[in-house]
C-alpha cells in the first residue's frame, strides 16, 4: 500500500523481493514523511525563487531544520533541460523529464513551503518579494501577495534572446520550457498533415515542410538532429510521398556551428549535417520574420535573402528577465547586461541576496579593482615593470586567491593569457609592462574573457555550494575568521565558489554524439552516444525519472516515435 511513497532503495528492495518471491514482509515498509511539519518562527527565513537547476540543487542540499525555507516558482516541477530537445520529437515523453517539486520537498525532513506563483518584484530595501499566483483562489479575487525574507536566493534562470528581431516573438517557437517542446512536437506533425492535404501545389507543400532552426548552438543543433531522425526513421514510412520535399535549415550568424566546442567537434558536426542533407547557413543573420517568410542578411556582403518556412525554432541564447533588470536598476547595476555577484554568489549592492544559475554571473571586477595589488605582488623586486616571465609565474599562483582566474586558465592556459598581455612577440620574457600598460592589457583581457557558461552544470554546482555555505552559516558565526586558507586573505568566512567542469555532450543524431570530457579529451561517434545515454540516465533526479526515460528510449528503439498530433 505504501509502495508509491517509499524511497527508491526500498522500492528496489521490494521489487527484488517480489521478483524473488519473498516480498511479503517488506511491503509494509515506508519512509514517507509527515506532510506538514510545524514551522519554527525563530528560524531565519530563506526564500528561494525558482525550481530549475540552481534552485532545486539548493533545496536538495540545504539543511531545512536550520531555516524556514519557502520556495516561489510558477512551475511546480523541476525539469531536466538536457533532454528537452528529445521531447520535441517524441524520443522522450514530457512527463519523463519532470519531477514534481513537492516530491523533492517530501524527501526532506524539515519544513519547506512551496508557493506556485511568479515573483513580480524584488524589494531588497524592505527584504520582501512581491508575487502573483496563477490561480484566483482568494475570496476577494486578489492573486498577489508578498513574502518576507532574511536571505533571498534568486535562481529564476533567463529568457530566450530575440535580439529584438521583428516578428520573432509572434512567429517562432522557443525551446525553453516543456510547453515549448510539446508545441514544437504538435507543430511538426501539423506541417506534415497540412502538406499532405489535397489541392496543394508542389511549392506550397514544399514550403510547409521547410523547417528552419535559428542558432547553431548546442540546443539548435540537437533539435535539428532530433528532427532529422524523426523524419528519416519514422515519418518517412508514414508520409512516403512527402519525404523528398522536406528541408531542414540551420541559420547561424557565426562562421561555424557549435563554436563553443572544440574545433574537431564543430567540424564533425558540420560534416555530418552536410551528409544528412541539413542545409547549414553559416554567416547569415536573421533580420525579420513574417508569417510566411524568414529574411536574413549575408554577413559578408550584406545581401538579403528570404526563405519561406513551415516552422521556425529560435534558439540564439539567453537574455536577462525583466524582473532582474528592475532589480539591477534599483541596486546600481543598470549599466550591466547580467546581474553581477561576487565569488560567494552574493549580489553586489544588496544585503543577504544571492543569485545563481543563468540569471547571474560572477563578475571579476574584484580582480580588476585589485590591479595595483596584483601588480605589486607580481613585481616582487619593486622594479616598477613586469616581464612576461614574472607575470606567468605569478598567474600560476594567483588561482588560489581568485577562482575566476582559475576558470579562465582552465580554458585558455596561462601562456595564452600572457600572450594577450604581451602579444606573441613579447612572450620571450624580455618585454616589460609598466603598471599603466598592465592595467590596460588586463582590462582588455577582461573584456575578451568569457567566464562561467550558462549551463545546468554551473547552476547545479552553485546551488549545492550555496546550500553547504548555509548549512555551516551558524557554525561560522562563532568563528568569523573562517577556514585557515581564507583567513590569510581575511576576506570571507567561506571558500569562494569554484566550478568543476565535467565535460559536455553534443548529440548529433543517427546514434552519433560528440563529447568534450574532463582532461581535454574529445570523444566522437556511436560509443559517445552510448556514453550520453548512460550519463543522462544516471543524472536524472529520481529513480522514477530514470526508469521513465530509459523505458522511453527502449520504446523508441522497439516501436519508433509516436506521430499522433495530440
- Closest residue to ligand FAD, judged by C-beta, is 52
Q: Applying CB under 6 A, which of residues 95, 176, 439, 544 lies at the interface with ligand FAD?
A: 176
Which three cell numbers mark 32? Answer: 514517507
CA-based nearest residue to 280, from 300, 255, 310, 309: 255
Query: What's the distance, Cα to Cα, between the start and end of the chain in Å?
Result: 33
Q: Applying CB under 6 A, which of residues 90, 157, 167, 496 lies at the interface with ligand FAD?
A: 157
In this structure, what DSSP letter does residue 259 have? T
Q: At what angle do helices 371-378 and 435-448 cross, to 10 degrees?
A: 120
Going from the C-alpha of 526 to that of each of 82, 508, 514, 531, the distances in angstroms are: 19, 10, 9, 9
Least Å distance, CB 212 to ligand FAD, is 17
Query: For residues 80 and 37, is the Cβ–Cβ distance under 8 A?
Result: no
Query: For residues 563 and 235, is the Cβ–Cβ distance under 8 A?
Result: yes
Q: Applying CB under 6 A, which of residues 68, 111, 226, 358 lies at the interface with ligand FAD?
A: 358
The answer to whether 454 contacts ligand FAD (rule: CB under 6 A) is yes
**CB-nearer residue toward ligand FAD: 391 or 541:** 541
Specify the stretch interacting with ligand FAD by CB under 6 A; choose among 107-115, 151-159, 493-501, 537-545.
151-159
Q: Applying CB under 6 A, which of residues 62, 64, 105, 119 lies at the interface with ligand FAD?
A: 119
The answer to whether 246 contacts ligand FAD (rule: CB under 6 A) is no
Least Å distance, CB 72 to ligand FAD, is 5
Going from the C-alpha of 268 to that of each of 47, 110, 130, the distances in angstroms are: 45, 49, 49
**CB-nearer residue toward ligand FAD: 328 or 367:** 328
Q: What are phi and psi for residue 411, nearest 5 degrees?
A: -85, -35
CA 504 to chain centre: 12
Specify the stretch interacting with ligand FAD by CB under 6 A; choose among 24-32, 251-259, 448-456, 555-563.
448-456
Residues 32-71 that bind ligand FAD (CB under 6 A): 49-55
Neighbours of 154 (CB within 10 A): 29
Query: For residues 414 and 392, is the Cβ–Cβ distance under 8 A?
Result: yes
Strands 311-314 and 173-174, sheet pairing: parallel
Least Å distance, CB 117 to ligand FAD, is 7
The answer to whether 323 contacts ligand FAD (rule: CB under 6 A) is yes
**CB-nearer residue toward ligand FAD: 149 or 422:** 149
Q: Which helix (H) or strand (E) holds 531?
A: helix 526-538
Look-up: residue for cell 522497439?
A: 558
Q: Applying CB under 6 A, which of residues 59, 89, 175, 250 lies at the interface with ligand FAD?
A: 175
* Non-local CB neighbours of 126 within 8 Å, separated by 6+ positions: none
The answer to whether 209 contacts ligand FAD (rule: CB under 6 A) is no
Q: Which helix (H) or strand (E) holds 191?
A: helix 178-195
The answer to whether 220 contacts ligand FAD (rule: CB under 6 A) is no
- Residue 100 β-bridge partners: 77
Q: Applying CB under 6 A, which of residues 59, 62, 69, 72 lies at the interface with ligand FAD?
A: 72
The answer to whether 215 contacts ligand FAD (rule: CB under 6 A) is no
Specify the stretch interacting with ligand FAD by CB under 6 A; choose among 10-18, 153-161, 224-232, 250-258.
153-161
**CB-nearer residue toward ligand FAD: 155 or 445:** 155
Give the interface size with ligand FAD as a residue count (CB under 6 A): 32
Binding mask 277-296 for ligand FAD (x = CB under 6 A): --------------------
**CB-nearer residue toward ligand FAD: 82 or 167:** 82
**CB-nearer residue toward ligand FAD: 155 or 378:** 155
- Alpha-carbon distance 30 to 9, whole Å? 11
Which three cell numbers mark 497? Answer: 565558489
- Alpha-carbon distance 88 to 104, whole Å? 26
**CB-nearer residue toward ligand FAD: 10 or 182:** 182
The answer to whether 82 contacts ligand FAD (rule: CB under 6 A) is yes
Which three cell numbers mark 203? Answer: 511549392
CA-based nearest residue to 178, from 77, 263, 91: 77
**CB-nearer residue toward ligand FAD: 77 or 394:** 77
List contacts with ligand FAD (CB under 6 A).
Answer: 49-55, 72-75, 81-82, 84-85, 118-119, 155-157, 175-176, 219, 323, 357-359, 454-457, 459
Amino acid at each position: 500500500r505504501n509502495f508509491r511513497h517509499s524511497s527508491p532503495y526500498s522500492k528496489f528492495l521490494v521489487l527484488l523481493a517480489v521478483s524473488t518471491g519473498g516480498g511479503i514482509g517488506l511491503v509494509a515498509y515506508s519512509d514517507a514523511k509527515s506532510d506538514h511539519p510545524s514551522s519554527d518562527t525563530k528560524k531565519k527565513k530563506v526564500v528561494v525563487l525558482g525550481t530549475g537547476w540552481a534552485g532545486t540543487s539548493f533545496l536538495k542540499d540545504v539543511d531545512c531544520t536550520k531555516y524556514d525555507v519557502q520556495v516561489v516558482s510558477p512551475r511546480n516541477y523541476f525539469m531536466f533541460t538536457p533532454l528537452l530537445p528529445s521531447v520535441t520529437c517524441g524520443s522522450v515523453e514530457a512527463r519523463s523529464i519532470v519531477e514534481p517539486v513537492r516530491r523533492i520537498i517530501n524527501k526532506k525532513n524539515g519544513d519547506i513551503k512551496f508557493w506556485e506563483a511568479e515573483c513580480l518584484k524584488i524589494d531588497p530595501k524592505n527584504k520582501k518579494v512581491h508575487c502573483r499566483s496563477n490561480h484566483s483562489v482568494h475570496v476577494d479575487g486578489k492573486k498577489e501577495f508578498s513574502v518576507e525574507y532574511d536571505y533571498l536566493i534568486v535562481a529564476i534562470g533567463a529568457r530566450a534572446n530575440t535580439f529584438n528581431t521583428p516578428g520573432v516573438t509572434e512567429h517562432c517557437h522557443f525551446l525553453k520550457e516543456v510547453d515549448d517542446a510539446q508545441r514544437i512536437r504538435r507543430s511538426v506533425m501539423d506541417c506534415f498533415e497540412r502538406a499532405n492535404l489535397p489541392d496543394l501545389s508542389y511549392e506550397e507543400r514544399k514550403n510547409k515542410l521547410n523547417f528552419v532552426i535559428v542558432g547553431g548552438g548546442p540546443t539548435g543543433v540537437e533539435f535539428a538532429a532530433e528532427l532529422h531522425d524523426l523524419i528519416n526513421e519514422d515519418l518517412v514510412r508514414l508520409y512516403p510521398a512527402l519525404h523528398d520535399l522536406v528541408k531542414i535549415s540551420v541559420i547561424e550568424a557565426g562562421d561555424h556551428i557549435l563554436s563553443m566546442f572544440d574545433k574537431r567537434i564543430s567540424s564533425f558536426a558540420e560534416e555530418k549535417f552536410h551528409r544528412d542533407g541539413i542545409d547549414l547557413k553559416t554567416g547569415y543573420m536573421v533580420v525579420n520574420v513574417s508569417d510566411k517568410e524568414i529574411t536574413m542578411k549575408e554577413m559578408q556582403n550584406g545581401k538579403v535573402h528570404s526563405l519561406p518556412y513551415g516552422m521556425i525554432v529560435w534558439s540564439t541564447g539567453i537574455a536577462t528577465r525583466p524582473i532582474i533588470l528592475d532589480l539591477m536598476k534599483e541596486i546600481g547595476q543598470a549599466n550591466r547586461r547580467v546581474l553581477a555577484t561576487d565569488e560567494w554568489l552574493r549580489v553586489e549592492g544588496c544585503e543577504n541576496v544571492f543569485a545563481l544559475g543563468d540569471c547571474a554571473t560572477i563578475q571579476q571586477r574584484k580582480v580588476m579593482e585589485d590591479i595595483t595589488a596584483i601588480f605589486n605582488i607580481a613585481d616582487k623586486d619593486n622594479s616598477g615593470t613586469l616581464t612576461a616571465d614574472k607575470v606567468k609565474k605569478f598567474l600560476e599562483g594567483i588561482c588560489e586567491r581568485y577562482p575566476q582566474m582559475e576558470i579562465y586558465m582552465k580554458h585558455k592556459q596561462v601562456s595564452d593569457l600572457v600572450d594577450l598581455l604581451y602579444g606573441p612577440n613579447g612572450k620571450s620574457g624580455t618585454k616589460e609592462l609598466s603598471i599603466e600598460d598592465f592595467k590596460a592589457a588586463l582590462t582588455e583581457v577582461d573584456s575578451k574573457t568569457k567566464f562561467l557558461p550558462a549551463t545546468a552544470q554551473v547552476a547545479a554546482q552553485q546551488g549545492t555550494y550555496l546550500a553547504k555555505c548555509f548549512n555551516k552559516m551558524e557554525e561560522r558565526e562563532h568563528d568569523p575568521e573562517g577556514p585557515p586558507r581564507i583567513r590569510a586573505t581575511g576576506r570571507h568566512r567561506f571558500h569562494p565558489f569554484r566550478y568543476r567542469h565535467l565535460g559536455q555532450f553534443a548529440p548529433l543524431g543517427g546514434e552519433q554524439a560528440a563529447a568534450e570530457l574532463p582532461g581535454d579529451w574529445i570523444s566522437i561517434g556511436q560509443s559517445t552516444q552510448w556514453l550520453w545515454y548512460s550519463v543522462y540516465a544516471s543524472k536524472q533526479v529520481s529513480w522514477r525519472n530514470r526508469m521513465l526515460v530509459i523505458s522511453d528510449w527502449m520504446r523508441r528503439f522497439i516501436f519508433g516515435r509516436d506521430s499522433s498530433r495530440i
